[in-house]
Every structure is written in C-alpha cells, then in structure tokens.
C-alpha cells in the first residue's frame, strides 16, 4: 500500500471495484454511511458494467475498515470480488459522496 503523511498520521487513497449483485440493493448508501462513520473522504458510483467503483481517502486504518465493509455490503447484496488498488493520484478531503452512474467500465 502506498500512503502519504499528513502531520503524524498516515493517509491512504485506494480505488476499489466491487462486483456481484451490488446495484439496486442500497450498496452505495451503505458505503457512504460506513465511510462517513470512519471519516473517510471520496466517492462511490455505479458503473455501466454492473460493478460499483469506490475511491477512499483517509487514515490508513479507517480506509482499511471501509474496504473490509465493501466485501460485506448491505442485506440483499452479494459480493463476488473487491479489487483494490492504490490511487495516489486521486486523493480527497472532507466529504464522501454518491456520484451519478457512469457508462465507463472502470478499467
């Protein structure tokens, strides 16, 4: 994992692509709730190919807890895989938002 330091705390930015039954089941709202609780910034959105893309930025431990929750999801979701990569180019501060669906596939 590649992180960056802000003061005495180590921060991390990760991009996760989640596949399975993750659209139409409240998955994005679930992710937003967990991210806000963990004080992680970034976004979540549906992709045109049926996956969900999430970018998480924040303290390493908090990002790890949100990433773990991505593999569980809300009731009604079925998670087949969570593919996570470091995303040092896209770091966010402050809020975690639900973005509109995009046609791109996340590749």
Catalytic residues: 28, 46
Residue 84, token pair as written in the block: 């996570």
Distances (CA, A) of 40 to 26, 54, 64, 71: 19, 11, 10, 17
Which residues touch 27 (CB under 8 Å, ≥6 apart)? 18, 44, 52, 73, 74, 77
Report DSSP state, residue 34. Answer: H
Continuous segment of H or E residues that includes residue 95: none
Burial class (CB in 10 A: 0-12, 13-18, 19+), 54: buried
């Amino acid at each position: 994992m590649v992180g960056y330091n802000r003061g005495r705390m180590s921060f991390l930015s990760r991009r996760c692509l989640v596949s399975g039954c993750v659209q139409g089941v409240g998955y994005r709202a679930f992710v937003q709730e967990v991210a806000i609780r963990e004080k992680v910034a970034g976004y979540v959105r549906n992709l045109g190919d049926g996956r969900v893309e999430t970018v998480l930025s924040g303290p390493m431990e908090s990002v790890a807890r949100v990433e773990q929750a991505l593999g569980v999801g809300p009731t009604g979701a079925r998670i087949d895989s969570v593919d996570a990569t470091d995303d040092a180019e896209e770091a966010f501060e402050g809020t975690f938002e639900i973005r509109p669906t995009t046609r791109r596939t996340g590749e």
